[in-house]
Amino acid sequence: MTEELNIKSGAEAAGGSGNGKKTANGEHAQGRKRVYMTRRKKMEGAAPAGKTAESKAAAGKAAAGKKPAGKTDAGKTAEGKQTASQAKTEQGKSLQKPVSRRRPAAAAAQKEKAPAEKSVTEKTTKENTKEKTGKGQPVKADTENAKPQGRRTTQRSASRSQRKSGPHMEIRSTYHPDGHLKLLTMKPDEPAAVRNKVPLSVQVDQLLAQQRAEKEQQEKALLAQQNGQEKEKPAVKLSRRKKGHGPKHIKIIPLGGLEQIGMNITAFESDNSIIVVDCGMAFPEDDMLGIDLIIPDVSYLKQHIDKVKGFFITHGHEDHIGALPYILRDMNLPVYATRLTTALISNKLREADILDSAKLNIVSYGDVIDAGDFKVEFIRTNHSIQDAAALAIHSPAGVILHTGDFKVDYTPVFGDAIDLQRFAELGKAGVLALMADSTNALRPGFTMSERTVGRTFDSIFAEHTKNRLIVATFASNVDRVQQIINDAERFDRKVVVEGRSMVNVIGTAVELGYIKMKEGTLIDINQIRDYPDEKVVLVTTGSQGESMAALSRMASGQHRKVTIGPNDVIVMSSNPIPGNEKAVSKVINELTQKHAKVIYQDTHVSGHACQEELKLIYALVRPKFAIPVHGEYRHRVGQKEIAMALGVPKDNALIAETGDVIDLSEECCKIVDKVQAGPLMVDGLGVGDVGNIVMHDRQNLAQNGIIVVVLSLERYSGRLVSGPDIVSRGFVYVRENEDLMEEARLVVMDAVDDCLVHHVSDWGKIKNVIRDTLSDFLWRRLKRNPVILPIISEV
């Protein structure tokens, strides 16, 4: 491009005089013009050199038709050449390297003689420079210094250009997608339509598109090759996992709560940390004679005490917090719970005299607690006690959602409804495992709202305006107590709270603002005689038939301050816990015998989710694995069926037992081991000192009674000195069975004499002979098998 510009400048300078006469350099300019035209025609495939004159003439005529007044022939020729050069530049077909030129001193004198030609040349140069840069602002070009050169300089420049680019090749440049400058070449013998009509930018875009397509094709081929290698060699994955590149694993160890309602406690263990969810107790069963309560065996936690980061409590029921006073004595670990739950725990620890050393932490909904490798988030739920929470456990393996005890109540008496939005957000982000409440998994439909019980109480209060009302409910059911207080204030009754646990819970709830009442509504039980029956409502414990609860003592006539009579209406505002049906029936029968009216229909709603609510949670959370908790075996199997109906594969729904070690990761959920776990029986101040052997003896004593055989032997000779004497307790009434006792004494004497005759001096062997002989005799006579206890003394 610059070479053309220099040649044209020389031609214009030669014809720069206004009279059209040739200057001294005219011949040189015409020669350069011929060389230029000849080479140009060769490059474009034009006519032979013999037709050059005709071409010049035609070009001159065309230029003459457009020539402005005052221009010379040389000016016409230069202007024609300039127009052609400008058109070619606009098409973007020639981006040849500019060749630097020096301005001769002789050409300086001609600068002022051709101002018009100079302006045209300068304008063309600026346009070309602007097109090269591709920007809106023109770039300065040193066109003022570009003057005509001699013939030798032109030929030398042409040969230099040919040496660089070759006589049959044009050089173009563009940018590679990687950012590197790439040279594109095009042969001059390509058709003019292809070379002139297709802009360079279009060609570059086409090339870039082609390169991108090739690159994508290569990437697809490489990806397909890698996938094929993975399918053929799965052992490579396994080898990488062994080096620590596989999925993370954690352990879930249920230490209680899977075979009964109560004693809920579950440990979550990673490589460096352990967290514990809940720490509850259970009530003793009928065959656990003399046992006060049952707590879980936490030997595994004691063995790994350095890893345990704390206890995370879902709510304040006894089956979730009752064991803390016994366990925190030996393991003083942090406890995290909501406000009301923490207050209830404080009451229990104060009674155990360990509150001052306890590490209690109040948590709000939405808080996330860092506990080693775990992060525990508290989520609002509804239950029969306020401040219940679900736990989203963010573990190294993934998110584990533990619902705790819950139900979906859209109209709770106090507080807000369950945070279903957070459940859905966790489900959208991905939940690895769901551990949900199974208590009502066999009940179809939805659990009724707590407010429905309020309407029942409204009817009871309105119907029995002349009677004394006694309502038995769970001590921790704060919402139920609130509705009773509301009705009592509406019907102008005083409220009396009876039962140690009821007094503690209600007092704490009133102090924290979870129960609201007017001043003077609550009175002490000692003031109950100061008011007529129709002005009193008594809220008490004992809805589960506990033998020492306040209602049980009232029914049996052992309560010191309340006597049941015909004017009393007792409302059983609870459902019997599985296993307590007989005890509850006994209390109802005793109350009915005293001519009191007992109401137990439609006076309670459960605090646990039924089938449709469980389906809702599974639909929102969409867990990969399901681990049903909190319930008997049949309850957990019922939830497993719900999980499978909601899309959880059968192999991904796991039924575990207490003490099982569950290995959980993104790829598996299976039982891999078992640890020491189970119930510890609390009898008085003793914890765990009553085991299976003691319980078996107690059961045997209760069922069959005991016979004690006492005798004395001489120290050296082994001769029988006194006895044997037989003492019976719980077997038969001795005064009415003296003959039987005498026969039994003779059987024992014969057995001892036989041992002495055979020189048996080992007291242990003698006791075994006495026990076996007497047992056979009593079985033949009475078909009974009492506990036989031989006692030998030495004289």
In 3D space, the residue among 364, 375, 367 whose CA is nearest the CA of residue 342 turns out to be 364
Phi, psi of 494 (to 5 degrees): -90, 150
Give the separation between CA 753 and CA 749, rounded to whole angstroms.
6
Amino acid letter, residue 770: I
Burial status of residue 520 (CB atoms within 10 A of its CB: 0-12, 13-18, 19 or more): exposed
CB burial class (10 A; 0-12, 13-18, 19+) of residue 93?
A: middle
In this structure, which amino acid lies at residue 390?
A
Rounded CA gap, 448 and 600, in Å? 16
Rounded to a whole number of angstroms, the distance between the first and last alpha carbons of the chain is 138
Query: Residue 774 in contact with residue 788, Cβ under 8 Å?
Result: yes
Cβ neighbour number for residue 587 with a 10 Å cutoff: 25
CA gap 441, 455 in Å, rounded: 26
**Distance in angstroms (rounded) separating the CA atoms of residues 622 and 430:** 8
Residue 26's CB is within 10 A of a number of other CB atoms, namely 17
Q: What contacts 689, CB < 8 A, 6 or more positions away? A: 683
Residue 502 backbone phi and psi in degrees, to 5: -65, -45
205 is known as an active-site residue: no
Count CA atoms closer than 13 A to 549's CA, side-chain side: 23
- Sign of the torsion formed by the C-alpha atoms of 442, 445, 446 and 448: negative
Between CA 282 and CA 263 the distance in angstroms is 5
C-alpha 443/C-alpha 638 separation (Å) is 9
CA dihedral 598, 600, 604, 608 (to 10 degrees): 130
- What is the rounded distance in angstroms from the CA atom of residue 654 to the CA atom of residue 669? 8
Among 489, 557, 568, residue whose Cα is nearest residue 534: 568
Q: Which amino acid is at 249?
A: H
Active-site pick, 28, 608, 630, 635 = 608
Q: How many angstroms separate the CA atoms of 412 and 447, rounded? A: 12
CB-side neighbour CA atoms (13 Å) of 114: 32
Residue 9 CA to residue 119 CA, distance in Å, equals 11
- How many Å apart are CA 333 and CA 341, to the nearest integer? 17
**Pick the catalytic residue: 297, 419, 437, 683?**
437
Structural contact between residues 489 and 517, judged by C-beta atoms closer than 8 angstroms: yes
Active site includes 306? no
**Helix or strand holding residue 77 (H, E):** helix 73-90
How far is C-alpha 399 from the geometric centre of its chain's CA atoms? 3
DSSP 485-553: HHHHHHTT-EEEEESHHHHHHHHHHHHHTSS---TTSEE-GGGGGGS-GGGEEEEES-TT--TTSHHHH
How far apart CA 150 and CA 32 sit, in angstroms, is 9
In angstroms, the CA 344 to CA 321 distance is 9
Bridging pattern class, strands 389-394 and 374-380: antiparallel
Beta pairing, strands 250-256 & 597-599 = unpaired
Q: What is the CA radius of gyration of the chain?
A: 52
Q: Which residues are catalytic?
A: 437, 608
